[in-house]
Amino acid sequence: MQATARPRFPSISDVIGAPCLTTNVRPPIHMPKIIGSQPKIAERTIRSVLLTGFHILVILATFLICFAAYWLGFLFNTLFLLLLILAGAGVASRATGLYRKSLETHFVRRPFDRTFRKYLLQSLNQWLFLSLAVVALRLAIVAVQFSPGEYNMIQAIVLGTAALSAVFALVPHKRVRISVNSFFAAGWLFLGIELLRIFLPAPRHESVVLDAPFRGEWYIFQGGRSALINHHYPIRSQRHALDIIKTKDGREVQGDKVALESYPAYGQGLYAPADGRVAKVVNDRPDMPIGKTDLEQIVGNHVVLDIGHERFVLMAHLKQGSILVLPGEQVRVGRMIAECGNSGNTSEPHLHLQVQSHADFYARDLRTFPILFRDVTRGRSGRRKQLNEADVRRNDIVIAPDPNNAHALDAPMTLVLNTVCHWRRASDVHRWGSHSHIT
């Protein structure tokens, strides 16, 4: 009988040592060496986080500076400085981007391509801010503080820096940063609100119509419904106040800037802007030398007229000893009240004029009301217009008729008339008391 051979099972050594006969076995996978690239990835991540944090800190610091400037009355100065910084930062940023090859250079050739939509939105965001900044600065820069050449140079700097930053927006960095775009968006939103306040007419139910308290041609140094053009605006008790100076040959001062007599406003006669009763008089404060102020009595020598309906006209910074009325006395519109001086907290001779809710300037709940001038000629944007009720703001020229000079309104306008823009008219307001850095 033939013996049956037992089946032999392969041993472990046979399996391991046997050649692979299958043809569908995948080749071994070679894993990339990522150990060496991990430090580079980590380095880029850390750099990006640090850069974002730096941007956020810079933006927060800028907001704090702008907030302080708003309350201190240096808002437009800060805006001018910001334009210079943005232009300089743009130059440095684009130079760094060229070196690191981090700029999106194709956007400028195909700005409306769908792949570049985020860069287009970013550019529009920046352009809107830059455009509103230029408009705000053209309204805010006080022309009479500079010669025509100096003023033109400042305007050229404003336009040049804004245009340079606008061009840089066409060559953006590849990475769009939310922090930077949020800064520009907040900026144009703030400027847009401020410009709306400037251009919209005064509220009719609050406005008070007065005769001009001066004669001839005077200049609105501080005035308007925005901190951009009126450093009183953030302060409730002075919000609608006007600082008014007199100019000569388009300048606020002639000759020695230290002498009070070099300022055309000093010693000029001031007149009652409405019928009323004299509610308060201070006449003994000294006229301060240029560069010094009286912080004990910040309004200096002043007269307060009660014109009825809980409205009081404050005329402040008057010349020492020049006041011609007494408390309790009834005065008629047009009567000479005092002379313009430099008493109180003031940087140069001027008239501080406001209509307020109480006779006492230091009243806790004091508020002010918009002022319209009756029957004057207003100069704005190189044009003059005779108005029954003139709403005025910074850089406006106001010409009040002088009874002693019937041809006063026919006199040529000064050079400064070409330095401001836009006009508006407010009408149909309540009439009060009629017959029917400067602080």
| Helix and strand element counts for the chain (H, E) | 6, 14
pLDDT tens digits for range 64-77: 887 887 887 788 89
Q: How far apart are the C-alpha atoms of 223 and 93, rounded to whole Å?
A: 39
pLDDT tens digits for range 278-317: 999 999 999 999 999 999 999 999 999 999 999 999 999 9
Q: Residue 438 burial by CB count (10 A; 0-12/13-18/19+): exposed, middle or buried?
A: buried
Which residues make Cβ contacts (< 8 Å) with residue 397, sequence separation at least 6? 217, 218, 219, 220, 378, 379, 380, 384, 413, 414, 416, 417
Which pLDDT belongs to residue 72? 79
For 208-419, give the CATH class.
mainly beta
Q: How far apart are the C-alpha atoms of 145 and 160, rounded to whole Å?
A: 21
Which pLDDT belongs to residue 353? 98
- Please compute the mean of the pLDDT values over residues 167-195 and round it to a whole number: 93
Listed range (206-210, 213-217, 426-430) with the worst mean pLDDT: 426-430
- 389 phi and psi, to 5 degrees? -140, 110
Which pLDDT belongs to residue 437? 52
What is the CA 249 to chain-centroid distance, rounded? 27
pLDDT tens digits for range 318-370: 999 999 999 999 999 999 999 999 999 999 999 999 999 999 999 999 999 99
Which pLDDT belongs to residue 20? 46
pTM: 0.79
- Contact (Cβ atoms closer than 8 angstroms) between residue 366 and residue 237: yes
- Please compute the mean of the pLDDT values over residues 59-87 and round it to a whole number: 85
Q: What kind and span of H or E run contains 151? A: helix 148-168
Q: How far apart are the C-alpha atoms of 328 and 277, rounded to whole Å?
A: 6
Q: How far apart are the C-alpha atoms of 410 and 123, rounded to whole Å?
A: 49
Which pLDDT belongs to residue 249? 87
**Is 14 or 326 the better-scoring residue by pLDDT?**
326
**Is 13 or 222 the better-scoring residue by pLDDT?**
222
DSSP 271-324: E-SS-EEEEEEE--PPBPPTT---SSSTT-EEEEEEEETTEEEEEEEEPTT---
Place of tokens 């026919």: 410
Q: What kind and span of H or E run contains 390? A: strand 383-391
Q: Residue 30: pLDDT above 60?
A: no
Which pLDDT belongs to residue 58? 73
CA dihedral 60, 61, 67, 68 (to 10 degrees): 160
Name the token pair of 236. 């409730």
The ranges of the chain annotated as CATH 2.70.70.10 are 208-419
Q: How far apart are the C-alpha atoms of 291 and 293, rounded to whole Å?
A: 7
